[in-house]
Chain A
């Protein structure tokens, strides 16, 4: 072999042995985009719900001037506010509910679907670790969904407000009362705060549980996710006549109200005050996050061991 071809061969070797040049952030980004390509309902469903709600709102907007006149006669400011803000609260509530339902079904399928259709073999043939994959999938309910629900709600409420203002102005009324009662900026801030504290941080262990079941189940992840907890609550009731587990689950589903001063009211209530310090000093938050980490760690491990279903 000539020196020249030796040189060429060693140059080729050097080129071949270049270290991986793709950063973990880049892999996370593209894996996240892949999730959105696959699960289009993550963004389609909230936008669809918002569109349907806006159509309904637009139809009812014809009677808005009359309702505003009635609201203006109410002396109690709380009731007046409730009358004006109600549709905005309903819109936010509806979108949050949509987000939770979509996130639940997303999580249940996230690590199960790829095993069922065997595409896990393809994903695992790419240089993406199980940790990156599971973290990306967890980011959908914990980061992407709350932020996206916020964005859709923000736009929806803005359209509602502008539409209402236009209708009121068209009927000769001033939209000033509407704007003063809604304090749009504050309403949005509260919504974002609520989504991040409750839907992302407080509910995190619930989504992590769903992901864990999705990584573990060989069939029917929906049943595996819900039946065992229900059965355990029932058994506890029969065996010990106590409801500790049930109240624990209820606390997780409905708790987290330490984030706000007024308990039991809707988070968009103007009387509400944010108490983030009280929220972060709630032990339940940190216990929940520790459980989240444990569940996700177990899901990473399961994804490593579990191959396609049936093989």
Chain B
């Protein structure tokens, strides 16, 4: 059974089509990054998976319909968003009590063990904590809930680089294994390049690119082309050509690495560069921000 399976997922808000036919199949044990500009529909996809929004089309998460079975699904799914959603009035101890009270697999000792390594105080309230501490507290809850699927929506927005690094390190070492799946959206793509196993570019409700990271690395190659090979490089129909320090950097899709290396210095491009090449060049870009999420 796939962890997430979607066919023709659509969502319309009034006159705005937030999702326009998304097909997706994600197996257990993968880490999927959903990348897209603001208003691309990233959060809408996540909300549909979490049973927070209705949708058209077919969607199964861990074999369940998220819209009709949200409460049962949430025994196996955890969710963290960029916006600090932990209620500001609650105390750490109350949060642990409540999670232990309503969640069937919450491991309180595990959460407390994790919090002992942080500055989060037991009797403190969320509103007294820094943004980083709130994230640590939420992460402690998530890890102790032993979820099969973890959904992260811009989890590290507004955190400094040390916190961000620690956040992903903790997830990978203390949480992630072959029985779990993570779906993450973020703007800080570079930091995730070596964490992700799967990648999806979303733009205006449609999938622009969906592939595994292995495919990504074999498909895309970036070459700093030597001037004498420029014409030959252009003949290979590059996806994008740009100038860096006066040198031509050309991005190819589907050109063999060995062949590309004859034109100049070849390497695997960054996700952000491929994203800009594929999404930034589409007609209509750049688009308005602030569409409904």
Point out residues on A near B: beta carbons under 8 Å. 12-13, 16, 18-22, 26-27, 29-31, 33-34, 37-38, 114, 117-130, 132, 304-305, 307, 311
Interface membership of B58, Cβ < 8 A: no
Interface membership of B148, Cβ < 8 A: yes
* A33 to B94 alpha-carbon distance, docked (Å): 9
* A117 to B84 alpha-carbon distance, docked (Å): 9
Interface size on B, residues (CB 8 A): 38
Q: Are B99 and A119 in contact (CB under 8 A)?
A: no
Q: Are B52 and A31 in contact (CB under 8 A)?
A: no
| Residue numbers in A under 8 Å from B73 (CB-CB) | 127
| Residue numbers in A under 8 Å from B102 (CB-CB) | 22, 26-27, 30-31, 126-128
* A19 to B104 alpha-carbon distance, docked (Å): 8
| Residue numbers in B under 8 Å from A122 (CB-CB) | 85-87
| Residue numbers in A under 8 Å from B51 (CB-CB) | 124
Name the one of B74, B89, B179 contacting A125, with C-beta atoms under 8 angstroms.
Answer: B74
Q: Are B103 and A126 in contact (CB under 8 A)?
A: yes
Given contacts A38-B87, A118-B85, A311-B292, contact A124 B104 (CB under 8 A): no
Name the one of A31, A127, A307 contacting B53, with C-beta atoms under 8 angstroms.
Answer: A307
Q: Are B179 and A121 in contact (CB under 8 A)?
A: no
Q: Are A30 and B54 in contact (CB under 8 A)?
A: no
Q: Are B148 and A119 in contact (CB under 8 A)?
A: no
Q: In the complex, what residue of chain A is closest to B53 when comparing beta carbons?
A: A307
Name the one of A119, A127, A132 contacting B75, with C-beta atoms under 8 angstroms.
Answer: A127
Q: Are A20 and B104 in contact (CB under 8 A)?
A: yes
Given contacts A30-B97, A38-B87, contact A307 B52 (CB under 8 A): yes
* A21 to B100 alpha-carbon distance, docked (Å): 11
* A16 to B147 alpha-carbon distance, docked (Å): 9
| Residue numbers in A under 8 Å from B25 (CB-CB) | none
Q: Are A128 and B71 in contact (CB under 8 A)?
A: yes
Q: Are A117 and B88 in contact (CB under 8 A)?
A: yes
| Residue numbers in B under 8 Å from A34 (CB-CB) | 94, 98
Q: In the complex, what residue of chain A is closest to B84 when comparing beta carbons?
A: A118
Q: Are B86 and A119 in contact (CB under 8 A)?
A: yes
Q: In the complex, what residue of chain B is closest to A12 when comparing beta carbons?
A: B179
| Residue numbers in A under 8 Å from B234 (CB-CB) | none
* A311 to B39 alpha-carbon distance, docked (Å): 12
Q: Are B101 and A30 in contact (CB under 8 A)?
A: yes
B79 smallest CB distance to A (angstroms):
4
| Residue numbers in B under 8 Å from A127 (CB-CB) | 71-75, 102-104
Interface membership of B83, Cβ < 8 A: yes
Q: Are B85 and A311 in contact (CB under 8 A)?
A: no
Interface membership of B70, Cβ < 8 A: yes
Q: Are A121 and B81 in contact (CB under 8 A)?
A: yes
* A99 to B40 alpha-carbon distance, docked (Å): 48
| Residue numbers in B under 8 Å from A120 (CB-CB) | 85
A240 smallest CB distance to B (angstroms):
37
Q: Are B78 and A125 in contact (CB under 8 A)?
A: yes
| Residue numbers in B under 8 Å from A118 (CB-CB) | 83-85
Interface membership of B260, Cβ < 8 A: no
Q: In the complex, what residue of chain A is closest to B69 when comparing beta carbons?
A: A129
Q: In the complex, what residue of chain A is closest to B293 when comparing beta carbons?
A: A311
B219 smallest CB distance to A (angstroms):
30
* A304 to B105 alpha-carbon distance, docked (Å): 24
Q: Are B50 and A125 in contact (CB under 8 A)?
A: yes
Name the one of A20, A21, A121, A305 contacting B85, with C-beta atoms under 8 angstroms.
Answer: A121
Interface membership of B256, Cβ < 8 A: no
Interchain residue pairs A-B with the least CB separation, the first 8: A30-B101, A119-B87, A125-B79, A129-B71, A127-B74, A121-B85, A122-B85, A20-B104
Name the one of A22, A27, A124, A311 contacting B50, with C-beta atoms under 8 angstroms.
Answer: A124
* A18 to B75 alpha-carbon distance, docked (Å): 10
